[in-house]
Structures are given as C-alpha cells and as structure tokens.
Amino acid sequence: MSDYAIIGKRMPRVDSRAKVMGKAKFTADLKLPGMLVGKIKRSPYAHARILNIDTSKAEALPGVKSVVTGKDTEGVKWGVFAYTRDQEFIQTQKVRYIGDEVAGVAAVDEETALKALDLIEVTYEELPAVFDSMEAMASETELIHGDFPNNINVHVNIDTGNVDENFKKAHYIREDTFVAPEESYFQAEPYAIVARFDHEDCLEIWCPNGGPHMKSKPLSNAFKIPLHKVKVRKIAIGGAFGGRSEICPVDYICALLAKKTKKPVRIQFTREENTIATRQGHAMITTHKTGVDKDGRVLARETTCYMDGGAYSSTGPIATSVPFLSMEQAYRMGSVRYNGYRIYTNKPIRGMIRTHGRGFAAGLDTQLDMIAEHIGIDPVEIRLRNSRQPGEYTSTKSYVDSCAMDETIHKAVEKSRFKEKWGKLPPLHGIGIGTNSVQTGFPMGIRGGSQSFIKFNEDGEATVMSGVVDNGQGNDNMLVQIAAEELGLLPEDIHLVSADTETTSSDPGSYSQVSTFVGGHAVKIAAQNCRAKLFKVASKVLKVSPDKLVAQNRLIFVRDDPEKSIPIKKVVRISLLNFNSVNAEGGYWPKVDMKREWVKNPYGQMCEAFSFGTTIVEVKVDPNTGQVEVLEATAAQDVGYALNPLVLEGQFEGSIAMGGQGGMLTEYHEWNGGRCINPTMLDYKLPLACDMPPKINNIIVESVDPKGPYGAKEAGMSIAMSAAQAYSAAVSNAIGVYMDSFPLTPDKILAAIKSKES
C-alpha cells in the first residue's frame, strides 16, 4: 500500500453533498437582475434555402427586446479546425437539418419569447434531403455543403503498409459488416446558457462545458474582442460525455442577444433541443476484414467505416478517428489500413461521445470471437494473443509505456469465472468479453497543457486555481485530493477556484480523458512547489534540511522524528512576516507529437498514456420475448493508479449503464425523414437504476504509469466501450448467433433466434 495520506483513499466527493441535497446551482438556476429569456427559432425543414426572414412582427411585439438573425453575425463561421469551418452561427443561406438556427429572440419572459418565435416569418425553398450516409455519397441532388464533393466531410486514412502482403500470408480471413444507428448523450442537465456584457464590455458566460478555455477563445474570435474580455464562469454541470467540448451556435446567439440588449440573457434548452440541437453520436456502418495466422494472431486488418456526421463538421476529424484509435491501442494488428469517412447528411450534428463507435468496437470484437471459434480457441485466449503489451508502439506510432491489459483480462476472467462458464452455461445463457483502450488526451497545440496556481491564506488554508472543469465525473474532488496530499492539508482546507477563464490559466478541458493526467498533474506540481517554499521556512525553524521534512495533517514534521513538528498555519505566518511568498505555480505539458494531425498526419505520439479495460457480462435471454436479463457484470480497468476508488467505482458502474445496458440493449434514435421521433427521456430508452445488473464487480488494476500523477491515467471510458463489446458478445453467445446490428433490441434478438431455428 502507498504511504499517501489522502490519495488512494475512499473519499466522498467534495461536490456530492450539495448535489444530493439539491443545493448545487446549475445554469438554469441562475437569476441575474434584469435577465431576459432567450429562445431560438429553428428550421422545421431538413434541407431548404432561406429566401427571406421577416422579423418585423416579432420585433413589434411588446416585451421583445431583440431579434437577431444571420445578418447580425457578420458571417462568422464555426468549426473546430480551420479546415472544418462550415457552420454559420445563424444560417443566412440555407438550413441543413431540422433544428438549424435561423433566428434568436430575447424577451421579458418565456411566453413573450415563444410568441415572438411564432411571429418570425421565414420563407424557405425546400431542397431534396438525404438522411443516410450511403445515399448521401451517391446523391446527385444539391450538396449539403457546396465545397464537399459526394457529401464527404472528412476522410481519415491510416495505412501502416504491408496490409495486402500480410493478407496473403494469413491462415484465415474474415470480412464482416456491422451497423449501429445514432445515439444520444442524454446528459441529466439539458443545455442552458446565461450571458451578459458588463460595464467594461466584457462578456460573461455560464454554461455546461467540457472546458471553459475551449469556449472563451472561439467566442473572443467571433466577437472580435480580446481573450481576457471573455469570462467563462464556473457553474455546476450535469454531464458532458464529449458532447459539450466545443462552442455551439446558441453560445454565440445568447451572447449576441446580451450585447444587443445590454442585459443578461438566459437560454434554456428543452429536452428535445438538447437531443437534436447539440450533438449526437454518429451512426456507423463498419466493415472489418481481418486475417490471422494459424494461432489466431492478427496479421492484417482493413477497416472501412462510414459515419453519418449530420449537417456540420463539429469535432468530425476526431470522431472519425477515435473509434479506430481505441482499437489499435487495445490490440496489436500486425498491419492495418483504415478508411474512415464522415458523411454529411441532413440530420442533427454528430460529435465525440464517450462510447465512440459502439458498433465499430463491438463489431471488431464479434469478429475476433468468430475467428476464435474457427480456429478452436476461446475468446479469452484470442484476446490474450492479440492484446497490447507494455513497451510497444501502436500502429499509428504511439509508444505505450504502462499497460496492464492482460492483467485486466486475467482478473476479470477470474472474478467472473469465465473459463468455468464458457461453453458450459445452460441454453440461452451467455457470457461475453470485451476489451478496449482509450487515450489520455491528444495533441492540442497551444492548449495542450494545464497550469495551476496555489496561494496560501493566513489561516493556513490554501486556494487552488485550475482551469480543469468538473462536468460530473469528480474532477473537483480529484484536484482537492491532490492539493491536500501535496500540501499536507485536509481536503476541507483546500478551496478551489476552477473552470473560470478570468482567474485560471489555460487547460485542455475535460474531454479526451485528460483532466487528471494533465490538469491534476499541474496542480500536483504547483502544490509541490508551494510545499517546497514552506519547507524552506520550516527547515529553519526545525533546524533540519528541507529534504528531511514531511507535510501531513496540517503539520510539517521531521520524517525520522515526527515529534519535531510545526503547524502549517504557523509556517505560513512566519513566511509572511519574513517577506517570503507562500504562493506557487506549476504546469504540465504532455510530451506528444505536435506534428500529429487527425487527417494530414495521423501518426506519432498521441498522448503519454493509455488506459485499458476489460468487461465481462453474463446474460440470460428470454427466447419468447427476446428480452435480455443481465445477471452479472465484471469491469476491470487499468487506471494507472486509483486516486479515489469510490469515484472510480462510480465511473465503472456509470460506464456499464451507458456503454452496455443502454448502449447495447435499448438506446437508439428513430427517424421519420430528418425528424427525430424519440427525442425525450420517455421515448429514448435510457436505462433506469432498476434496469441495471443486480451485481457489478469492479476491479481496479494499477499499472502505475511513470508519467501520470501518482501513476494515474484515466477512469471509466475504456469500461464504457468494452461494456458495449461484452454485452454484444454475451448475447451472441447466449443465442448462438453472432449479431451484427446494434443495439441488440428484443425484436432483433428474437428474429435471430427464429432464423437460427429454421
């Protein structure tokens, strides 16, 4: 066991109490003096030219303070990358999906704002629309974006070479295609934003976000104001899952309305808007072709994936890559060729999602199981023969330092008694395994590193400043734990100032699993620097050299003679009286290959560490209804080092809910043309607590990464993804049919059972 005082301990999160008691304030709870209500006018057509927008009646309505349209935006466009700037904040020429923004209104109350929306008259000329990526590529009707032929938005091509040669050497080759429709994040908190311009023309913003600095920079560009004038404030956030990592038109519109009216404006999305007008997960059609040697080792793989990207680019290049990257990290592939195509369609915009490519990953694992069956080994064995090992390079040339993939497999197998159960379960019972890996960050250029600042207060407590945002996963707690550990304080002595762009330095944001690895690391270094200052002063008082000192439990004491001690509070006061500063800063920049780029150069060091996870699930299928009962789930993840096992277990269980129970059994969107017909929580079948498996075994595996803070890497996401794979494998195993269309709803399962019988 470690000799940490706070790190590694089961500690309830610092934010839980306020949330459980209903006291935490979310954006929709904010009320500012004179605040107006903003609403968005959206396109009811999937593809149409805007002929005219008449706002005069809306403007004349008493209580309406401002109406904005594309004319007010000065033509600024949004896109995460310079080469993907394809979205006007408010459309001026045409609309590309049902929900596209055409105008914004600010009024004294919601009723008036809604009335005003009805009074805005937009004349459209409807255009033919496409709702399927294959159709969109072949379509001869007007392109969704004129400058993207065949409606292909992004093409990621990765080729390690030798693929064709290695296929020739293969003992056995399979090619299979897997499909999955789009899914939604269903963050517990629907999107909301409050914006105001203060007396110095600074823009202040409160909204759920995946990184405040990722919001401030594009907004400063859009409004052509200096960066320091955009102040994204901290607020409680009810979930992100990758869907809130960039700015979206409503951020701009809300700020624009605030600017025009000189009043604070709040826009609060309905559940339907949160589903259709933020981001969704991509629908995918994936073909994996795999060639193995006689032992089942993969010699060559070719994967082609068509992703329905919806109307705009969003984080397209990233989302087109990550499903593949996760798999190339998890498995050795000999040689591989990947072609990922993100296709524009007239559907809502797709972005990054925590369960990146559920059909992609489940397909790859299903195919491995098929191959294992063919060559006569079990699913565990084929994974062990292809699993990533420490000290290797991935196919795209990232060095993998710490890696306990095999240990996650072994431990999950042992705990679930996979070997005893495989092939011996009663009819319609099944067990399945999935393994996956995710990165801790990716090259993000100027915002790739995080910096922290710590100040001691006279009372011996400390204030920690960090750009890291907590959008539900426990980042605030992580920062507090690290600071308390390093400073020798208790968690309640640490006061966080975080996720505020005015007071904190830049940070990559809390997506791509980078918060602990980079943001937490920066806090650790800042705290160590701060502690060094205290030790310098304490060493004079205690008359020992600083390297003999330890800080713990609000005391600084001599390691070999703990009786010799001094309270930290006293050291702070002595420092100040002797003109010594008790503040410090620290920063962390992961050593990644800055030349790596998603499309142009998808090779080189991606990030410094990768997490690895294995999920095993045991199910029982009702042959009469096709319904699946999950008996037990076992999740094992190499998290590097567990900073707080309690939080990790929460992440694991949430991951099983999102990736497995929901992602593989019930969640998908249904459409009527471009209309999403299940946008609400009633119709979109998120699992409830009572739907969850009765037993979940959480296994924390620690490879102690040499670069991660305390050896920590990432928690949860490789479970979310491997859970999808395990659920599908278990169902396939139970019914004796390899499933290729996800999620595995009862109708599909029943049809598979019937077709097998006949």
Q: Which residues in this chain contact other proteins in the complex, by CB under 8 A?
A: 42-45, 98, 110-111, 114, 270, 272, 624-627, 666, 670, 672, 675, 677-679, 681-683, 685, 687-688, 690-691, 745-747, 750
713 neighbors 639 (Cβ within 8 angstroms):
yes
Pick between residue 245 and residue 280 the one whose CB is nearest to other proteins: 280
How, if at all, do strands 628-638 and 696-701 pair? parallel
Per DSSP, 79 falls in state -
**What string of H, E and C letters represents the secondary structure of 653-691?**
HHHHHHHHHHHHHHCCCCEECCEECCCCCCCCCCCCHHH
215 neighbors 504 (Cβ within 8 angstroms):
no
Pick between residue 541 and residue 677 the one whose CB is nearest to other proteins: 677
Pick between residue 248 and residue 542 the one whose CB is nearest to other proteins: 248
Pick between residue 51 and residue 114 the one whose CB is nearest to other proteins: 114
Residue 273 CB, shortest distance to other proteins, in Å, is: 8
Pick between residue 459 and residue 747 the one whose CB is nearest to other proteins: 747
- Kindly provide the residue ranges of all beta strands, DSSP E only, lying in 60-120, ordered along the sequence: 64-69, 77-78, 87-88, 94-95, 101-107
Residue 467 CB, shortest distance to other proteins, in Å, is: 35
Pick between residue 240 and residue 750 the one whose CB is nearest to other proteins: 750
- For residue 115 the two structure tokens come to 């009335």
Residue 625 CB, shortest distance to other proteins, in Å, is: 6
Pick between residue 633 and residue 639 the one whose CB is nearest to other proteins: 633
Dist CA 319 CA 267 (whole Å)? 28
422 CB-near residues (< 8 Å, 6+ apart): 378, 379, 380, 431
Pick between residue 496 and residue 665 the one whose CB is nearest to other proteins: 665
How, if at all, do strands 203-206 and 230-232 pair? parallel
Pick between residue 553 and residue 678 the one whose CB is nearest to other proteins: 678
388 CB-near residues (< 8 Å, 6+ apart): 329, 330, 331, 332, 394, 400, 403, 405, 437, 610, 612
Residue 121 CB, shortest distance to other proteins, in Å, is: 13
Residue 683 CB, shortest distance to other proteins, in Å, is: 7
- The phi, psi pair for 724, rounded to 5°, reads -60, -45
| 283-292: strand order across its sheet | 152-159, 335-344, 298-310, 283-292, 172-180
Q: Coil, strand or helix: which one is 442?
A: coil
Dist CA 184 CA 282 (whole Å)? 9
Residue 745 CB, shortest distance to other proteins, in Å, is: 7
Other CB atoms within 10 A of residue 327 CB: 29
Residue 42 CB, shortest distance to other proteins, in Å, is: 7
Dist CA 194 CA 204 (whole Å)? 8
Pick between residue 119 and residue 219 the one whose CB is nearest to other proteins: 119
Does an H or E element contain 594, and which?
A: none
How, if at all, do strands 583-588 and 87-88 pair? unpaired
Other CB atoms within 10 A of residue 24 CB: 16
- Residue among 392, 388, 353, 325 at smallest CA distance from 612: 388
Pick between residue 594 and residue 681 the one whose CB is nearest to other proteins: 681
Q: Coil, strand or helix: which one is 700?
A: strand
| Surface-to-core class of residue 665, CB atoms within 10 Å of its CB (0-12 exposed, 13-18 middle, 19+ buried) | buried
Residue 422 CB, shortest distance to other proteins, in Å, is: 29
Residue 525 CB, shortest distance to other proteins, in Å, is: 46
Residue 671 CB, shortest distance to other proteins, in Å, is: 11
Pick between residue 310 and residue 379 the one whose CB is nearest to other proteins: 310
- The phi, psi pair for 90, rounded to 5°, reads -135, 130
Pick between residue 220 and residue 666 the one whose CB is nearest to other proteins: 666
Pick between residue 397 and residue 685 the one whose CB is nearest to other proteins: 685
Dist CA 249 CA 264 (whole Å)? 17
Within 13 Å and on the Cβ side, how many CA atoms surround 660? 42
Residue 268 CB, shortest distance to other proteins, in Å, is: 11
